Amino acid sequence: MNILMYLLALLGLLLVVICWQQAQKLGRQQRTTLRLSLVVVSLILGWLSFIAFQENEGTEFAWFFMLFHFSWLAWILLASKAHVKFNDKTVKTVKSVAAEHNWLYKSSILLLAGPVALFSSILIALCISKLFIAELANQWVLTFIIMPIIWGALATWFAADEKRLRPLLITLLLTAVCYGWLL
């Protein structure tokens, strides 16, 4: 591994984040041209960083380095610009707040977001995979990958929607369609 290349790639990523921050600042002043040019510069820098990572570690690793190294560089930039505002106000606290819903409602959400959403997500994922992918191995790997996303999304929808019936009906409809199609 060439450490210099690695460091250059990181520097490029840091500059990308700085460009975005400056572009955002300018946005408040409505300086669109300068803002757009910063975005273009950031794209070029990002591409150069990718090339540097790629030269060093190969294409597969380079993608993940690009995605993961952004985080800590942005956090460092954020921390360097942050200020601590000391406050001596005392906050009045309460011991409890009124519960939004009873335990029956909460248990029903748990049931819907758990086994019901899991079952539906598997069928929906399988249906999508079979619809778009021809090869058996790819079909199943896509099923394994999209199933957790669909499950998580359905579970959150069940927990989010005030009208419990809406997500339930749509989920059941989708499940029935997928089941029918798969059979």
The interface with other proteins within residues 110-149 (CB under 8 A) comprises 110, 113-114, 118, 121-123, 126, 135-145, 147-149
Site for other proteins contains 93 (CB under 8 A):
yes
CB of 183 to other proteins, least distance (A): 9
Cα(9)–Cα(1) distance, integer angstroms:
13
The answer to the question of residue 180 lying near other proteins (CB under 8 A) is: no
Site string for other proteins, 3-32 (x = CB under 8 A): ---x-------------xx--x--------
For residue 132, the one-letter residue type is F
* Closer Cβ to other proteins, 58 or 173, answer by number: 58
Is the distance from CB of 150 to CB of 125 less than 8 angstroms?
Answer: yes
All residues at 6 or more sequence positions from 120 whose CB lies less than 8 Å from its CB, including other chains: 150, 154, 171, 172, 174, 175, 178
Residue 42 C-beta: closest distance to other proteins, Å = 13
- Shortest gap between Cβ of 83 and other proteins (angstroms)? 4
Of 69, 64, 60, the residue nearest 9 (C-alpha): 69
What residue has token string 């977001």?
113
Closest CA to 105 of 163, 38, 46, 178: 163
CA-CA distance, 103 to 115, in Å (whole number)? 18
Residue 102 binding other proteins, by CB under 8 A = no
Backbone angles phi, psi at 127, to 5 degrees: -65, -45
Residue 46 CB coordination number (10 Å)? 18
172 forms part of the interface with other proteins (CB under 8 A): no
Least separation in angstroms between residue 148's CB and other proteins is: 3
Q: How far is the CB of 166 from other proteins (least distance, A)?
A: 11
Residue 90 DSSP symbol: P
Stretch that binds other proteins, among 33-41, 44-52, 58-66, 168-176 (CB under 8 A): 58-66
| CB 79 to other proteins: min, Å | 6
| 34 interacts with other proteins by CB under 8 A | no
Look-up: residue for tokens 């707040």?
97
- Regarding 35 and contact with other proteins (CB under 8 A), the answer is no
